[in-house]
Chain A
Amino acid sequence: SQKIEQNSEALNIQEGKTATLTCNYTNYSPAYLQWYRQDPGRGPVFLLLIRENEKEKRKERLKVTFDTTLKQSLFHITASQPADSATYLCALENSGGYQKVTFGTGTKLQVIP
């Protein structure tokens, strides 16, 4: 069966360090993968999209990698700040078509000052 796995345990990290979040998937062949940020009481906000033929994508302090062989995406936040504390969700294109995506359950990141 199809599965998207993100660390359900919260990730605590010291301010200034690099945070690395993992998204693993099975039985998907996504053409692209997205990362979203969600703050408490709010809807998810789109951060980055990476396509299957791209190994890496960067945006300011964010970096995403996509390894279709390992079936894994890594999401990095460099020089992390307390304001980066949130839940981060990965979303995979669903091969059922219509550009529908399926979301992982998210990893909560806490950046400690």
Chain B
Amino acid sequence: DARVTQTPRHKVTEMGQEVTMRCQPILGHNTVFWYRQTMMQGLELLAYFRNRAPLDDSGMPKDRFSAEMPDATLATLKIQPSEPRDSAVYFCASGLALVVANEQFFGPGTRLTVL
């Protein structure tokens, strides 16, 4: 059955290293979201793409985070350099933008630990 996939599922890295997380949205979906989830802040939207174009990345620290969609089957979220405060679970979600509503299908997440 169709589902969003994310790699890696777990990542442990040292402060200052580059981290790249990948997401394959559900085929046919035209919206992609990147979220970060922590106990304190809950689910925070980092970036939002529609038809591969970035529509909103206001939730993302611009100096170290970048998000791209090189093609319709791949979305990436990069952190460079990583910091301990970036430790969180990062979720990718995809959806099909209709007139009003946008049900989101979430991937399993990447659990990032920055030491």
Interface membership of chain A positions 75-102, coded 1 if the CB is closer than 8 angstroms to chain B and 0 otherwise: 0000000000000010001001011111
Asked if B101 and A89 sit within 8 Å, CB to CB, the answer is no
C-alpha gap A58/B43 in the complex (Å) = 26
Choose the segment among B12-20, B48-56, B61-69, B78-86 that binds chain A (4+ C-beta atoms closer than 8 Å): B48-56
Asked if A100 and B48 sit within 8 Å, CB to CB, the answer is yes
How many A-B Cβ pairs are below 8 Å? 55
* Interface size range on A against B: 20 to 34
C-alpha gap A17/B93 in the complex (Å) = 33
C-alpha gap A46/B105 in the complex (Å) = 7
C-alpha gap A89/B4 in the complex (Å) = 19
Pick from B43, B45, B48, B106: contact of A45, CB below 8 A. B106
Q: Would A42 and B43 be within 8 Å (CB), given that A49-B103, A98-B55 are in contact? A: no
B106 — which chain A residues lie within 8 A by C-beta? 43-45
B35 — which chain A residues lie within 8 A by C-beta? 103
How many chain B residues touch A (CB < 8 A): the figure is 24
Asked if A31 and B100 sit within 8 Å, CB to CB, the answer is yes
In the assembled complex, the CB of A38 is this many whole angstroms from the nearest CB of chain B, namely 8
Asked if B100 and A51 sit within 8 Å, CB to CB, the answer is yes
In the assembled complex, the CB of B63 is this many whole angstroms from the nearest CB of chain A, namely 23
Asked if A89 and B100 sit within 8 Å, CB to CB, the answer is no
Within 8 A of A (CB), among B56-106: 56, 91, 93, 97, 100-106
B103 — which chain A residues lie within 8 A by C-beta? 34, 46, 49
12 contacts across the A-B interface (CB closer than 8 A): A32-B101, A43-B93, A44-B43, A44-B91, A46-B103, A49-B101, A89-B42, A98-B55, A98-B56, A99-B97, A100-B45, A100-B48
